[in-house]
Amino acid sequence: MKIRESLILDFKTKTMKEPLDPTGKDKSLLIDICEDGTKYHWNKKGRIKWTITFFFGILLVYAVRTSMSICATAMARDLGWNKQISGMALSAFFCGYVTTNVLGGYMADRHGGEIIIFYSAICWATLTTLLPLLAHSESIFYSGTFAVLACRFFTGVFQGVFFPSLTSILAKHVAVSERGFVFAFAYSGSSLGTVATGFLGSLIIDLWGWPAVFMLSGMLSLLWAIWLRYLHKISPPIKTIVNQKSIKVKESVPWLKLASSPTVWALFVAYTCNSFTFYNLLSWTPVYFHDAFPQSKGWVFNVVPWLLNFVLTITSGYLANMMLSNGSSITFVRKLYAMIMFISIGVFSLLLNSVETFKQALFVMSLNIGGNAFSSCSIALNSQDLAPKHAGSLHGLMNSAGALAGSIGIYFTGYLLESTGSWSAVFIVISAVSFIGAFAYGLFGSGERVV
Any domain includes 3 = no
- pTM equals 0.71
Residue 241 belongs to a domain: yes
* Residue 66 CA: distances (Å) to CA of 165, 323, 333, 366, 397: 21, 33, 30, 17, 23
The answer to the question of residue 49 being in a domain is yes
Q: Compute, in degrees rounded to 10, the torsion defined by CA atoms 181, 105, 219, 402.
A: -80
More confident residue, 403 or 133: 133
What pLDDT, in 10s, does the model give residues 415-443?
888 888 889 999 999 999 999 999 999 99
Q: What's residue 140's pLDDT?
A: 56
For residue 1, being part of any structural domain is answered with no
Q: Which CATH number belongs to the domain containing residue 231 in this structure?
A: 1.20.1250.20
Of 230 and 348, more confident: 348
In 3D space, the residue among 371, 352, 357 whose CA is nearest the CA of residue 428 turns out to be 352
DSSP state of 10: E
Looking at residue 105, what is its pLDDT?
Answer: 83
Mean pLDDT comparison of 40-44, 141-145, 189-193, highest-scoring range = 189-193
Question: What is the identity of the amino acid at 34?
Answer: C
CA 112 to chain centre: 18
427 part of a folded domain: yes
Find the domain containing 150 and state its range: 9-444
Instruction: With a cut of 50, say whether residue 313 has pLDDT above it.
Output: yes
- Assigned domain for 4 exists: no
Question: Per residue in 77-128, pLDDT tens?
Answer: 888 888 778 888 888 888 888 888 888 888 888 888 888 999 999 999 999 9
Written as one letter, the residue type at 424 is: S
Residue 451, domain member (yes or no): no
Radius of gyration of the chain, Cα coordinates, nearest whole angstrom: 22
Listed range (243-247, 329-333, 437-441) with the worst mean pLDDT = 243-247
Least confident of 13-17, 133-137, 149-153, 203-207: 13-17
Question: What is the domain count for the chain?
Answer: 1
Residue 449 covered by a domain: no
Average pLDDT of the chain is 82
Average pLDDT over residues 215-235: 90
Query: Cβ contacts of residue 286 below 8 Å, gap of 6+?
Result: 69, 70, 72, 73, 198, 298, 301, 302
3-state secondary structure 183-198: HHHHHHHHHHHHHHHH
Cα dihedral 178/182/188/190 (nearest 10): -130
